[in-house]
Amino acid sequence: MVTETSSRSAVETVERDGRVGSPGPAPTPPPGSVAETLAPLVTALMGPSVPVRIAFWDGSSLGPGDGVGSLEVRSPDALRRMLWSPGELGVARAFVAGDIAVEGDLYALLRTLHGAAPDLRSVGWRTLPALLAAARRLGVVGAPLAPPPEECRPTGRLHSPGRDAEVISHHYDVGNDFYRLVLGDRMTYSCARFTTATATLEEAQDAKHELICRKLGLDRAPGARLLDVGCGWGSMAIHAARHHGAEVVGVALSAEQVARARERVAEAGLADRVEIRLQDYRQLRGERFDAISSIGMFEHVGANSMARYFETLRSLLGPRGRLLNHAISSIGGSALGGRSFIGRYVFPDGELLDVGEVVLAMERAGFEVRDVESLREHYSRTLHAWVGNLQHHWDEAVALVGPARARIWLLYMAASANGFDDGGLAIHQVLGVVADVDGSSGMPPTRSGWG
């Protein structure tokens, strides 16, 4: 906290009651205060008009007291982390460690900060001299602090099977109970599809699975054999088997996901129609499927492995077989690794690919691309629902995974929601088919087949 009587930080507010508080008026920084000392650094980062209130550990502050929210720099350790890792990574480490907290409207605050410093990684290095000078004046220069234990720095060759398994475990093997709190009872970790203004998250996830089943033609082919790549906790497999009589094989790399998916399949009474494997898609050999779904898994594949990915899936399909690739995309592509918050704490080695490149890679692998659909606005709504779940169950979430990981998820999901709102992120379903030798595809003549 800034002082014993100051407002609670957003994290502390959420820990108590699942809500985010509002900032109060900010005093003028007195001479010799932390705020006065850091003012040149802050204005170098954000410009002469600081858009949000920034409160420091000595009770001083900069910026407006009636804006969208505030940052609380709760410890001088935040400066030390940023000194040794200028830019986004240093700020991320300070946030995860609790040296920086947020207060107010989280979505609006993140939008304002992004507008003030859109490329924090490069800005951080440019302001290093000012940061060093301020740290010396405050007497906080010292040896580098150890990164928070939640940080992941994978080893081995990029996107090798062993390294992929390591980063998947980092992200998913944090406890199925935590994911249930955030994702809801369907335990579906991908964009939902809200067909009405009043649809619940669970209804929207069911609608997404049904849309994919219809795009794949499972509604017209009872008993079709479906491969679900990156099957998560088994929701798509269960839906396809229960509602369309599909015979499903689901593969995933997370041991905790696979264990819970098998339990859910058994609880649904579908063990005779659904097989869940702890298996890399690259290990699939000599099998044949009628359809393949890949939902929220492609982000882990990477640009350099994309061709092999689609070639592997193509080899598993016979004539008229269909593939539905459901994945987050970014214009021009975007690697999530390196020294970024997402790369170190959320999706190590993740890559978002341009949907145009995805279409081209599918065509080169032998697919005829028949449909491309964006669900961008749906993902923002999905993320807002997940953030709401986390805030509502904050105490329980912290008890399950600790405050640092809970903070990681709060920031990651809120920032992602903003990305889908402003168009910086997108998500596309790309449907491909393997045409028969005579060119027949078995596809319906219009989209009315799936609505």
> Which pLDDT score, from 0 to 100, does residue 7 have?
28
224 in Cβ contact with 217 (< 8 Å): yes
What mean pLDDT value characterizes the chain? Answer: 89
Tell me the pLDDT tens digit for each residue of 376-392.
999 999 999 999 999 99
> Which pLDDT score, from 0 to 100, does residue 15 have?
35
At 440 the three-state DSSP class reads: coil
CA 385 vs. chain centroid, Å, equals: 14
- Which of the pair, 28 or 215, is modelled with greater confidence? 215
H-state helical runs in 195-347: 201-215, 235-244, 255-267, 306-315, 341
> Which pLDDT score, from 0 to 100, does residue 131 have?
84
Q: Give the dihedral of Cα atoms 352, 357, 363, 368; nearest 10 deg.
A: 70
Q: Compute the average pLDDT of residues 326-336.
A: 91
Residue 286 has pLDDT above 50, yes or no: yes
Q: Which of 333, 377, 339, 374 is nearest to 357 (CA)?
A: 333
- What is the amino acid identity at position 177? D
Residue 314 has pLDDT above 70, yes or no: yes
> Which pLDDT score, from 0 to 100, does residue 345 have?
92
Could you list the beta-strand ranges (E) of 266-337: 274-278, 289-295, 317-329, 334-335
Give the CATH number of domain 161-449; options: 3.30.413.10, 3.40.50.150, 3.40.50.300, 3.30.300.30: 3.40.50.150
Q: Compute the average pLDDT of residues 414-430.
A: 96
Question: Distance between CA atoms of 180 and 185, rounded to whole angstroms?
Answer: 6
Q: Compute the average pLDDT of residues 102-127.
A: 82
Q: Which of 393, 425, 436, 427 is nearest to 175 (CA)?
A: 393
23 in Cβ contact with 65 (< 8 Å): yes
387 in Cβ contact with 418 (< 8 Å): no
> Which pLDDT score, from 0 to 100, does residue 407 have?
94
CA distances from 373 to 178, 352, 353, 431, 451 (A): 31, 16, 15, 9, 12
Q: Compute the average pLDDT of residues 78-99.
A: 91
Give the range among 250-254, 338-342, 408-412, 423-427 with minimum mean pLDDT: 338-342
φ, ψ (nearest 5 deg) of residue 445: -70, -25
Q: What tokens were used for 340?
A: 């970024």
- Which of the pair, 26 or 195, is modelled with greater confidence? 195
Question: Distance between CA atoms of 100 and 33, rounded to whole angstroms?
Answer: 18
> Which pLDDT score, from 0 to 100, does residue 184 have?
95
86 in Cβ contact with 128 (< 8 Å): yes
Residue 6 has pLDDT above 50, yes or no: no
273 in Cβ contact with 241 (< 8 Å): yes
Burial (CB count <10 Å: 0-12, 13-18, 19+), residue 30: exposed
What percent of the chain is predicted at pLDDT more than 90? 69
At 118 the three-state DSSP class reads: coil
Tell me the pLDDT tens digit for each residue of 44-53.
888 788 889 9
> Which pLDDT score, from 0 to 100, does residue 119 have?
73
What is the band of 335 on the pLDDT scale with cuts at 50, 70, 90?
confident
Which of 152-166, 335-349, 351-365 ranks highest by mean pLDDT? Answer: 351-365
Instruction: Give the burial string for 159-192 (b: 16+ CB within 10 Å, else e).
Output: beeebbbbbbbbbbebebebbbbbbbebbbbbbb
Residue 289 has pLDDT above 80, yes or no: yes
Burial (CB count <10 Å: 0-12, 13-18, 19+), residue 146: exposed
End-to-end CA distance of the chain: 52
Beta-strand relationship, 69-73 and 368-374:
unpaired
> Which pLDDT score, from 0 to 100, does residue 48 have?
80
Give the range among 101-105, 190-194, 268-272 with minimum mean pLDDT: 101-105
DSSP 346: I
Q: Compute the average pLDDT of residues 263-280.
A: 97
Question: Distance between CA atoms of 234 and 87, rounded to whole angstroms?
Answer: 39
Which of 85-94, 137-146, 286-295, 334-343 ranks highest by mean pLDDT? Answer: 286-295
> Which pLDDT score, from 0 to 100, does residue 282 have?
92
φ, ψ (nearest 5 deg) of residue 345: -120, -15
User: For the chain, which residues make up each domain, given as ranges?
Assistant: 10-138, 161-449
> Which pLDDT score, from 0 to 100, does residue 134 have?
86
Q: Which of 293, 311, 312 is nearest to 215 (CA)?
A: 293
Tell me the pLDDT tens digit for each residue of 239-249.
999 999 999 99
What is the band of 8 on the pLDDT scale with cuts at 50, 70, 90?
very low
Question: Distance between CA atoms of 79 and 38, rounded to whole angstroms?
Answer: 10
